[in-house]
Structure 1
């Protein structure tokens, strides 16, 4: 009888052990897919983990902000270590493509800083995990999901596969000691350059800033943003005909440009140097706060200011996404939520930290947060958030951009216009 009891107890233990072991993979699988968990469980699973955040590392201010403000807050408040890995989109996309081909289920990248053509490429190659945006509390609370530059990334539908991180907007910069009334439209710019020959130019395409300058002109002269609906395929010949007013404009302005338009600055950095050296009176940027920072650094006089056109200037949003094989999706979600907190967004807006425009909808912020925002000095040359937002135009589909740049080279450089 005792032997039988021992056998039964042994079987019971073995069966219990088998039952426990068989449920463990199911539980692990649930933990690996936070979409099946509530937010408290996600935070609990993320505690004590490390989030590998892959991002462009070319700006020391941004790097320092992530390494200090973000990393310190995440460790203190959530017990999460943020490991910033400086790597550009081309590199980390190639890495993810390689892991996809190798069927690597757990990769080393937990979160990426991404937007535009890179996001489109990543989505089309199934390199991103999601949709996860609706799982992020601060996204639900503070973001305008229907805004064109939130719902679409350079025209490509986001569909919850990334959450906004911050915003950029095209602005012009000028020195008030030399320019009393900066041009506020394509027509005013043409008149200004005729009155001030040799004092204006723009970067040669495909420079990112030169390209957005051309698209701003295109909006004004060729029917606006609405004239370029979302598409995945662009007919070059059809687009060329549509852009004829733009080519006519470049023909009219060319002879009045710096060096009579026979050559162009190779990059926006080269244009900025011409501006700093006094060779041209107007420059341009995608970062509205950068010139305030340069004034504080003593690189530019405190008479420099920025401006937008009356009909608006193009802005875009940069985002955070989670790779398909991120090993720490829970931690990535908690980090994304922190990045969308008013605390982080206000800190990021500080010019000394970054000067990046907020990704949050101001209408969703509490009055106290609005006061905090108004209390931040964006810098002497930086336009207010309200003025930028009321003059913000969306980007067109990413598919248009390389075709426009190719046509510009053919119509402006090769044709001699």
Structure 2
């Protein structure tokens, strides 16, 4: 049974219109008033406080980066204690929504990690504090503040309500002891699946990774990928590409793992199948994520990565502050710290995370530029040139839920 995402709940929230008249702008007023102070005053207010960072906790490398590098450094440099609370983003937004309905002005969440449809839902329902990135010293000093990657998030205007934390590209991972030549396009992939029944599957599209897999296929079946990512969803225009996409998924279903009777509910589940040798491919955002998994012995050392035509979807992910954060000063200081060159450099190293950075390298001093350039991302990571030439922007957030519905109706219920 497909698990429906919480964002379907958001689409029917008419009741918010009635209660927002009194509350509208209060959280924005609060953060605006705070940002009228000097940055030094904000740091002083944040000192000796605790900040609760709510974020997806399904990756051990990411968790280790937060717990063993970010938290100690933030404590030492700013006297701020960072608490990482693992929770799926949809559940975080559901909690905020419940608190919004109850008029709870002081919650428990100070920072959330989000992007895409989750950001759109949070923004549309006034679950965020307001605009703050213009006042972050590290963002202003080391990032291209006018970059379209920071102005739009899956087609939704950011309006300074979230700060760029990382950039990722979608890649496939495979075991080169089992696969000599990975497929170059989706037709090659179909042939390989049919020749190796049971050795491939993908997460169901209620999962972010599974949805991205299907969006790649939609890009492939459109006249041009840009006809998808350059405009909001037009269901009539997308009818033929969507039909071809669903036909493809139906054709490969009998040769999937367990004959398509079960789709992994998460990337974690798919990774487990890959690490156990049940399937010979996995996939996901972050072109370098396999490095730490290989180092920890989760993935085989023979793991390598590839991208297929028509390209590899990439995006920026962000940090934001909820409307009822009890410690907005601490949240600002923590986010500014996580955007620093030092934190971004550590995050880019293969262990424990290995994620690419949205920072502008040319804005760094010569010594720091050299440190970034000397990072060896590892054998599982494709060359920068290959990643850059295959990069495709994300589509509008409306495609995510629409494709999930299409898949559920045509692949599961048929």
Structure 1 segment 125-164 matched on structure 2, within 5 A: 125-164=125-164
Separation of aligned partners in 2, 1:228 and 1:83 = 39
SS at match of 2:164: strand
**Aligned position for 1:332:** 331
Structure 1 residues 130, 63: closer, same or farther in 2, change over 3 A?
A: same
**Aligned position for 1:14:** none
SS at match of 2:238: helix
**Aligned position for 1:297:** 296
1:45 and 2:45 correspond: yes
**Aligned position for 2:68:** 68
**Aligned position for 1:322:** 321
Structure 1 residues 109, 244: closer, same or farther in 2, change over 3 A?
A: closer
Structure 1 residues 362, 412: closer, same or farther in 2, change over 3 A?
A: farther
Separation of aligned partners in 2, 1:160 and 1:361 = 18
Structure 1 residues 66, 207: closer, same or farther in 2, change over 3 A?
A: closer
Determine if contact 1:57/1:88 at 8 Å carries over to the other structure: yes
Separation of aligned partners in 2, 1:403 and 1:389 = 28
Structure 1 residues 191, 100: closer, same or farther in 2, change over 3 A?
A: closer
Q: Deviations for 1:131-184, whole angstroms, at most 9, x for unmatched residues?
A: 111111211222234444422222221110000112332111112223222122
**Aligned position for 1:117:** 117
Structure 1 residues 90, 208: closer, same or farther in 2, change over 3 A?
A: closer
Determine if contact 1:107/1:327 at 8 Å carries over to the other structure: yes
Determine if contact 2:221/2:241 at 8 Å carries over to the other structure: no
Separation of aligned partners in 2, 1:318 and 1:202 = 22
**Aligned position for 1:352:** 351
Deviation at 1:363, TM superposition (A): 4.2
SS at match of 2:83: strand
Question: What is the RMSD computed on CA atoms of the aligned residues?
Answer: 3.0
List gaps (5 residues or longer) in structure 2. 1-28
Separation of aligned partners in 1, 2:118 and 2:142 = 25
Separation of aligned partners in 2, 1:273 and 1:72 = 30
Q: Deviations for 1:63-119, whole angstroms, at most 9, x for unmatched residues?
A: 333233222222222232223333433343333334433444443332222222221
Structure 1 residues 380, 31: closer, same or farther in 2, change over 3 A?
A: closer
Determine if contact 1:46/1:330 at 8 Å carries over to the other structure: yes
1:177 and 2:160 correspond: no
Determine if contact 1:113/1:318 at 8 Å carries over to the other structure: yes
**Aligned position for 2:4:** none
SS at match of 1:33: helix
Structure label with greater radius of gyration: 1
Separation of aligned partners in 1, 2:270 and 2:81 = 40
SS at match of 1:228: helix
The number of aligned residues is: 386
Separation of aligned partners in 2, 1:386 and 1:370 = 19
Structure 1 segment 17-416 matched on structure 2, within 5 A: 33-193=33-193, 196=196, 199-228=199-228, 236=235, 239-250=238-249, 253-254=252-253, 257-258=256-257, 264-385=263-384, 387-415=386-414
SS at match of 1:243: helix
**Aligned position for 2:3:** none
Separation of aligned partners in 1, 2:57 and 2:195 = 41
Determine if contact 1:134/1:160 at 8 Å carries over to the other structure: yes
TM-score when normalising by structure 1: 0.81
Q: Deviations for 1:221-246, whole angstroms, at most 9, x for unmatched residues?
A: 213442235777x5656533342332
Structure 1 residues 253, 109: closer, same or farther in 2, change over 3 A?
A: closer
Deviation at 1:305, TM superposition (A): 0.4
**Aligned position for 1:17:** none
Determine if contact 1:30/1:36 at 8 Å carries over to the other structure: no
SS at match of 2:82: strand
Structure 1 residues 351, 90: closer, same or farther in 2, change over 3 A?
A: same
Q: Deviations for 1:247-291, whole angstroms, at most 9, x for unmatched residues?
A: 343455455555665654454444434433444432212233332
List gaps (5 residues or longer) in structure 1. 1-28
Separation of aligned partners in 1, 2:84 and 2:41 = 25
Determine if contact 1:47/1:78 at 8 Å carries over to the other structure: yes
TM-score when normalising by structure 2: 0.81
